[in-house]
Structures are given as structure tokens and as C-alpha cells.
Amino acid sequence: MTHQISVSSNRKGVNNPALTALLRRAVRCALDVEGVDSPCEINILLTDDDGIHEVNRTMREVDRPTDVLSFPMFDLIPGEHPVAEEADPGTGRIPLGDMCLSVERARSQALEYGHSFEREISYLAVHSVLHLLGYDHMDDGPMKRQMREREEAVMSGLKLER
């Protein structure tokens, strides 16, 4: 059994088959690099800045748009994986959590940072998967460095490094 990565959108024109395939590839690579071998399920919602602003305000009480939001199902520590007993009995997959990506913000950040949209949206998906797996970057210390190192390892695996 393989990972299930569901991609949906709540705004017109933010999703297409090539983008869905790219995101699934990025998520699978992140799970592989992190050694997650139990079948997992991740849901991705693609939206625009207004849509992610609404989600951010509703779910986190933060009244502004952002690039990506992560909603983990488990409170993991980095390097720890959910166990098979946590799998949904109906699907046999472990529900890792959900992510919400602003395609609009990814496009503008790609221009701002001088790299491709494909690299930026993949990076945001990888970043979110790492959050689902317990990584965090809220401090400027070792946790942030660890997360950045893992992001770069996955991006190298995708051949989308800086």
C-alpha cells in the first residue's frame, strides 16, 4: 500500500494536473527521505491569498495571509514516526494531517527569491510535511537549523536545491 496524497482547491484556476503531480512527488520524497514507510494520508488544499487568509483567521486567529499552513494529526518529535496502530481501520493509512498552500503567494515568492515556481511550491509542501512530522522552526536555535537541514536534504532529492 502506498501513501495517499489528496489535492483539492477552493479557488478557481489554482490547480491543474501538473501541479498536483509535482506536489505529490514533493510529499512522497519528503516522506521517503524522512524514512516514513508506513502508508500515510495527507490532504492538500490549494488556494489563493484570500483563501489562506480566511483559513488562518478561522483556524489560528491570525488575521493575515501566509504561504503555507500545516495541521498535524499527531504531536510528534522530529525523527519520530506515527505507528501502524494509528492507521485508519477503513483505509489502513495513517492520517498525518492537512496542509493549505497559497498558490498565489508561492508565485510571488518565487519571483521575489529568484527561483522557479516549481521549486517554491515544492519547498512549501516539503516544509509542511516536516511540520506534520514534528519539525519546527519557531526558535533561531538547533530546532530551526535541524528543520532547514531536512528541507535541503529533501529538496536535493527532488533536484530542486538552491
Strand arrangement, sheet containing 94-102: 4-9, 40-47, 94-102, 68-72
Which pLDDT belongs to residue 1? 63
1-15, 68-82, 99-113, 131-145: least confidently modelled range: 131-145
Taking the C-alpha atoms of residue 16 and residue 24, their distance in angstroms, rounded to an integer, is 12
Q: What angle do CA 158, 153, 109 make, to 5 degrees?
A: 65
Report residue 15's pLDDT band, with 50, 70 and 90 as the boundaries.
Answer: confident
> How would DSSP label each residue in 21-71?
HHHHHHHHHHHHHTT--S-EEEEEEEE-HHHHHHHHHHHH---S--SEEEE
- State the average pLDDT over residues 58-86: 93
Q: pLDDT for 42-61, tens place per residue?
A: 999 999 999 999 999 999 99
Distance of CA 126 to the CA centre of its chain: 5
Which pLDDT belongs to residue 102? 97
Q: What angle do CA 127, 83, 35 make, to 5 degrees?
A: 45
CATH architecture of the domain with range 4-157: 3-Layer(aba) Sandwich (3.40)
